[in-house]
């Protein structure tokens, strides 16, 4: 059965992989070139993001939300709150730079009244006034909590290492074949071994033939039981070098103390 996969979801898997492995430049480039945003984050990342919002660590918050697909109103409010707190801290120049960058600069055309309010706060020589910045009934703490709530509602929680998990499932489910066939290269890698994800199925099949065990060509030794006993079970070690026999004698079972080496080549 054919399964249709949205190419944007493939990009999101790659972006999550970049995020989890600290490849921030690659993450930014993927977001810029594709226009695809993350809609979910690993649980730890979501927890850290909400903590940073409530703590006012806006440099971390704005960097974390840049590749996310969020409602525009939420993005504007995040940047606006960061601007307010920069002004409160006396970082007027940094606040002015933030106002002239996306997404706040877009307010000049979309919401002129809101833009001029922010511009007047950045150009004012007076001490920052919370009354001039916030609406009646609002405060810095309230706005932070509202933003944390909005982010929690907009950002989903994704299982970590999703890309590697899906690749592993595909290999196990499809027998390791990269051309859609099943089972043709299931022996290409030993249990616990490493797969070459870029190799085609024919190459994998060739490697499987090369790695296959050779048939036993010569008798190495013979394990003998007591004259009144007969072998009931045999166990071979995982490395193929040792073998143990279980024998039964007079309705009682025992394990032979001696072992013999088993060579397969």
Residue with tokens 């999703």: 162
Query: Is the predicted pLDDT of residue 180 greater than 70, yes or no?
Result: no
Asked if the model's pLDDT at residue 216 lies above 70, the reply is: no
Least Cα distance to 155 among 49, 61, 56 occurs for 49
Range from 66-75, 91-100, 164-173 carrying the lowest mean pLDDT:
164-173
Q: Is the pLDDT of residue 211 over 70?
A: no
261 — pLDDT class (breaks 50, 70, 90): very low
What is the pLDDT at residue 36? 92
Mean pLDDT (whole number) for 124-133: 90
Distance CA 182, CA 171 (A): 9
pLDDT value for 112: 95
Instruction: Assess contact for 54 and 144: CB atoms under 8 A.
Output: yes
pLDDT at residue 198 is higher than 80: no
Q: Specify the pLDDT at position 257.
A: 43
pLDDT value of residue 207: 53
Give the residue from 205, 200, 194, 193 showing the smallest Cα distance to 178: 200
Q: What are the domain boundaries of the chain?
A: 38-157, 162-211, 213-265
- Who has greater pLDDT, 213 or 230? 230
pLDDT at 181: 52
Phi and psi (nearest 5°) for 32?
-70, -40
Give the other-Cβ count within 10 Å of 67's Cβ.
Answer: 21
Pick the range with the lowest mean pLDDT from 1-15, 23-37, 196-210.
196-210
For 137-165, what is the mean pLDDT? 92
**What pLDDT, on a 0 to 100 scale, did the predictor assign at position 218?**
75
Identify which of 78, 124, 126, 123 has the alpha carbon closest to the alpha carbon of residue 102. Answer: 78
pLDDT at 83: 97
**pLDDT above 80: residue 192:** no
Judge whether residue 217 has pLDDT over 60: yes
Joined tokens for residue 52: 């940073």
How confident is the model at residue 190, as a pLDDT? 43
Mean pLDDT, residues 193-208 taken together: 56
pLDDT, residue 251, reads 53
What is the band of 212 on the pLDDT scale with cuts at 50, 70, 90? Answer: low
Give the pLDDT score at 157. 87
Query: Is pLDDT at 70 greater than 90 in this prediction?
Result: yes
> What is the DSSP code string of 53-90?
HHHT-HHHHHHHHTTB---HHHHHHHHHHHHHHHHHTT
Percentage of residues of the chain with pLDDT beyond 70: 73
- Name the band, by pLDDT with cuts 50, 70 and 90, for residue 238: confident
Report which of residues 1 and 158 the model is more confident about.
Answer: 158
């Amino acid at each position: 059965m054919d399964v249709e996969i949205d190419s944007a979801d493939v990009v999101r898997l790659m972006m999550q992989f970049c995020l989890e492995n600290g490849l921030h430049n690659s993450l930014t480039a993927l977001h810029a070139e594709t226009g695809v945003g993350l809609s979910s984050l690993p649980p730890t990342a979501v927890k850290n993001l909400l903590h940073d919002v409530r703590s006012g660590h806006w440099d971390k918050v704005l960097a974390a939300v840049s590749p996310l697909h969020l409602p525009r109103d939420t993005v504007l409010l995040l940047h606006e709150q960061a601007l307010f707190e920069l002004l409160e801290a006396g970082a007027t120049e940094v606040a002015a730079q933030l106002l002239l960058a996306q997404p706040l600069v877009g307010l000049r055309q979309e919401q002129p009244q809101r833009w001029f309010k922010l511009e007047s706060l950045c150009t004012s020589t007076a001490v920052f006034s919370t009354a001039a910045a916030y609406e009646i009934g609002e405060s810095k703490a309230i706005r932070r909590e509202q933003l944390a709530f909005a982010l929690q509602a907009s950002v989903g929680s994704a299982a970590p290492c999703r890309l590697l998990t899906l690749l592993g499932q595909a290999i196990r489910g499809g027998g390791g074949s990269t051309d859609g066939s099943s089972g043709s290269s299931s022996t290409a890698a030993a249990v616990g071994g490493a797969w070459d994800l870029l190799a085609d199925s024919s190459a994998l099949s060739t490697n499987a033939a090369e790695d296959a065990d050779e048939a036993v060509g010569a008798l190495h030794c013979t394990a003998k039981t007591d004259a009144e006993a007969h072998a009931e079970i045999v166990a071979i070690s995982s490395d193929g070098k040792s073998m143990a026999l279980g024998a039964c004698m007079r309705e009682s079972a025992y394990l032979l103390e001696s072992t013999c080496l088993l060579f397969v080549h």
